[in-house]
Amino acid sequence: MIELIKRGAHFANRTAIISNQSAYSYQQLLNASDSIANYLLKGKKDLEEERVVFLVPPSFEYVATQWAIWRAGGIAVPLCTLHPLPSLQYVIEDTEATILVVSEDYKALLTPLAKERNMRLFLVADLLDKPSVDLPTVSLDRRAMILYTSGTTNLPKGVVTTHQNIQFQIETLVNAWEWEKDDRILNILPLHHVHGIINVLSCALWSGACCEFLPKFEAEKVWQKLSSGQLTLFMAVPTIYFKLIAFWDKATATEKERLSNGVKALRLMVSGSAALPVPVLEKWRTISTHTLLERYGMTEIGMALSNAYRTERRPGHVGLPLPGVAIRLVDAEGKDVKATGEPGEIQIKGPNVFKEYWRKPQATADAYMDGWFRSGDVAIFNDGMFKILGRDSVDIIKSGGYKISALEIEDILRRHPAIKECAVVGLADKEWGEIVAASLITDEKDLDFDALKKWLKELLPAYKVPRKFIIQEELPRNTLGKVTKKVLKSAFD
């Protein structure tokens, strides 16, 4: 049995999940995942790495489905509940998934696609009544999960991790951040990203702790939880902390004191998935007494660097490599520049590093240099700690914890009949880190931007839709004809 699930049996009577105002024990989670696995197998002894896509909101049912796929020998492919149909369809088609599990809310949306592709479609609520069956033995080297991330190409790539990758990522964080069975964490992060799946959910369940879900982020409800005295940990992206600070700022003096006193009871608060602005860190420390723990990771590697749990947490820095993870900084000539204090690309080795990009052998090969994974992020080693300087590509926009491909958005914009040419950039923003902005070349000088946004939301997740638009006569280009995006950004001032 997979170690994460095997450990659940040791915590059988403890509360594993709280969702939809209900508490579920580890035993209930084991029983539910056993039942779902039975349905998925449908008489087979082993799914043998069949891809199983599932669209289920953060909940007990989500976790039971994820565990069931692993227990049945399948590859779990979680879909994002906020993505429009074209984004979901891309993942389903790219993975060539054979099984689709959905909650009631998404049945009507995905049933036509499932029929078209001759997929087995299950409603998760109907899968919880099967008796126990013999489940396959799943080795650690087998593929476990595919998460999609936007890189520097137009289309997202499927990042394949094995059970061994996942187990190492979990164990490393459990040890580094001193998880215990009496911990309780609130999970408000998307469950198609490594941050929510590994750092929060899986670390909690490995430890015998409790993971609580909220249906959606609401600053007031999150503050209620943070100040209740029930939680011991909290992890979020910088945008969330920005919103929580804004809520606190509007509260009365009495309410501010109550909220601040309540949040002090937590033992650890973490920020990640995007650079944390130092003013946000300092304001949060003033409000809560917590110095947010910053760390560095990505879908392909889980977490690689972390500030210390018990010692110094330096603002603007992401600490040191986690145990078992090797890091080097390499310049454009391939020279290791860590000792010189010069900027270099972060490159990683270790059991945390992913297996491959799904059915993209060339992209997988291109992602490595001499056996080291190339992150594309630039950092310096500054006075004993790593400091991230930014992305080694202007085509990746980091907004609200998401990494967004500008090229993907440009490709969609060009489909609009009124748009002749376009370029997309990220503009610095205090709340979001960066916001998406687009320059358009069009003959329609009175182009309705609101109508354009509505059109885009049918094809892109909302967080990828540009927040700012300008119309230009031409795009700035270099002698090779490539758009100079650093110059373009100044046009939005």
Alpha-carbon distance of 325 to 346, in angstroms, equals 12
Alpha-carbon distance of 213 to 198, in angstroms, equals 15
- Structure tokens, 260: 């601040």
Can you say how many angstroms the Cα of residue 393 is from the centroid of all Cα atoms in its chain? 20
Alpha-carbon distance of 123 to 107, in angstroms, equals 7
Within a domain: 153: no
Exposure b/e, 236-253, CB count within 10 A at least 16 = b: bbbbbbbbbbeebeeeee
Characterize the bridge pairing of strands 372-382 and 344-349. antiparallel
Within a domain: 409: yes
What pLDDT does residue 216 have? 85
Query: Of 206-215, 460-469, 470-479, which range is least confident?
Result: 470-479
Cα separations in angstroms, 136 against 3, 127, 377: 14, 19, 40
Within a domain: 465: yes
Q: Containing H/E element for 379?
A: strand 372-382
Residues 379-403: what's their mean pLDDT? 85
DSSP 197: I
| Torsion angle of the four alpha carbons 157, 88, 238, 255, in this order, in degrees rounded to the nearest 10 | -160
Here the CATH number for the domain that contains residue 481 is 3.30.300.30
- Smallest CA-to-CA distance from 356 within 83, 1, 49 is with 49
Count of domains in the chain?
A: 1
What pLDDT does residue 481 have? 59
Q: Positive or negative, the Cα torsion across 218, 149, 36, 210?
A: negative
What pLDDT does residue 478 have? 67
| 8 A C-beta contact, residue 128 and residue 36 | yes
Alpha-carbon distance of 132 to 118, in angstroms, equals 27
- Smallest CA-to-CA distance from 298 within 148, 399, 436 is with 148
| 8 A C-beta contact, residue 103 and residue 57 | yes
Within a domain: 135: no
Rounded to 5, what percent of the chain is helix, strand, coil?
35, 30, 35
Within a domain: 361: no
Within a domain: 478: yes
Within a domain: 415: yes
pLDDT tens sequence across 408-460: 898 899 889 999 889 999 999 999 999 999 999 999 988 999 999 999 999 99
Alpha-carbon distance of 352 to 50, in angstroms, equals 23
Rg (CA), the chain: 23
pLDDT tens sequence across 6-56: 999 999 999 999 999 999 999 999 999 999 999 999 999 999 999 999 999
- Smallest CA-to-CA distance from 9 within 208, 172, 167 is with 208
Confidence grade of residue 151 (pLDDT, cut at 50, 70, 90): very low
Residues 6+ apart with CB under 8 A from 348: 301, 304, 325, 326, 327, 372, 373, 375
Within a domain: 50: no
Domain that holds residue 440: 396-492
pTM of the model: 0.86
